[in-house]
Amino acid sequence: MSLGSLLLKLQDIDLALTRNRAALNAMPEIAELAKKRRAHQKLKADATKLYAQRKDIETYLKELEGKEMDANDDVRIAQQNTDSSDYRAVQQLEIELSNLAKQLDKIAFDRRDYEAKLADIKAKEEYLAEYTAKFEAAVIADTKAAREKAAGLMAEVEKAQRQREHILEQLPEDMRVRYEKAAETHNGLAVERLEGNVPSVCRMALQASSMSDLARTSSEVVECPYCHRMLVMGEDGEES
């Protein structure tokens, strides 16, 4: 491969490296996974909140159960300790039983209310658990796909790096220096080929005098008089 062909090939590799590195650094899948991880944390927080609410209600229902047992015990004790022949004692018993009945009614009302709330929370927990399981499965699949894509890009980058090093080994030191400086100056487009009398990058047609001057040079790689890129003479920069 001629010197010009090596330089053009090196430029193609460097441009591909730039594209692949940029694609790797700006993978939309990475940003999307970050969003999904934040959403997953929100789901876990919601699950923790529901769990705490359920435990609070279950605790309160146990307290209601204890209050109901105590009230029923109070009813039995009051009935057992009341002398039915004592009018005043019977009246007091009726008042006490009326108060206890009200307590039991309130306990029953509260139980229905909190049992309904408990059923609602359990339904929400079940739905959230199913949704979270599906969400986690999707995140795992997306993570695998992102890793595979990143691995593919990394493989392309590593392959191009090896090709680049191989080409650099074949270039004279002065050409490597010229290429690196031109690449830095022209954002990676360091080399162009001459197509007729038109350089392939800057597209500024060379005058006859410029063409004559370039024809007299013995070098295959010259400098474009307009854009000052490295200009490869000869058709397609290939050896004939």
What is the mean pLDDT of the segment spanning 30-35?
Answer: 91
> What DSSP string describes 171-217?
S-HHHHHHHHHHHHHTTT--EEEEETTEETTT--PPPHHHHHHHHT-
What pLDDT, on a 0 to 100 scale, did the predictor assign at position 240?
31
CATH number at residue 41: 1.10.287.1490
Query: φ, ψ for residue 52 (rounded to 5)?
Result: -65, -40
pLDDT tens track for 47-69? 999 999 999 999 999 999 999 99
What is the mean pLDDT of the segment spanning 213-237?
Answer: 83
Name, in order, each residue with C-beta under 8 angstroms of 75's C-beta and a sequence gap of 6 or more: 97, 100
Q: Are residues 129 and 228 both part of a single domain?
A: no
Per the CB < 8 A criterion, the answer to whether 50 and 114 are in contact is no
Q: Are residues 80 and 128 both part of a single domain?
A: yes
> What DSSP string describes 141-163?
HHHHHHHHHHHHHHHHHHHHHHH
Measured CA to CA, the distance from residue 162 to residue 80 in angstroms comes to: 98
Q: Are residues 160 and 183 both part of a single domain?
A: no
Q: Of 155, 170, 185, which marks where a domain is finished?
A: 170
Q: Are residues 200 and 226 both part of a single domain?
A: yes
Question: Total structural domains in the chain?
Answer: 2
Per the CB < 8 A criterion, the answer to whether 156 and 16 are in contact is yes
Q: Are residues 97 and 186 both part of a single domain?
A: no
What pLDDT, on a 0 to 100 scale, did the predictor assign at position 237?
38
Give, for 140, the enclosing helix (H) or strand (E).
helix 87-170
pLDDT tens track for 125-181? 999 999 999 999 999 999 999 999 999 999 999 999 999 999 999 999 999 999 999
Range of the domain at 137: 3-170
Whether the per-residue pLDDT at 218 is higher than 80: the answer is no
Q: Of 130, 148, 170, which marks where a domain is finished?
A: 170
What pLDDT, on a 0 to 100 scale, did the predictor assign at position 91?
85
What pLDDT, on a 0 to 100 scale, did the predictor assign at position 47?
97
What pLDDT, on a 0 to 100 scale, did the predictor assign at position 235?
47
Q: What is the mean pLDDT of the chain?
A: 91
Per the CB < 8 A criterion, the answer to whether 106 and 114 are in contact is no
Residue 7: pLDDT band (50, 70, 90) is: very high
Q: Are residues 40 and 106 both part of a single domain?
A: yes
Measured CA to CA, the distance from residue 188 to residue 230 in angstroms comes to: 12
What is the mean pLDDT of the segment spanning 59-88?
Answer: 87
What pLDDT, on a 0 to 100 scale, did the predictor assign at position 239?
38
What pLDDT, on a 0 to 100 scale, did the predictor assign at position 96?
86
What pLDDT, on a 0 to 100 scale, did the predictor assign at position 75?
85
pTM: 0.62
Rounded to an integer, what is the distance from CA 213 to the centroid of its chain?
57
Measured CA to CA, the distance from residue 167 to residue 12 in angstroms comes to: 12
Q: Of 153, 170, 187, which marks where a domain is finished?
A: 170
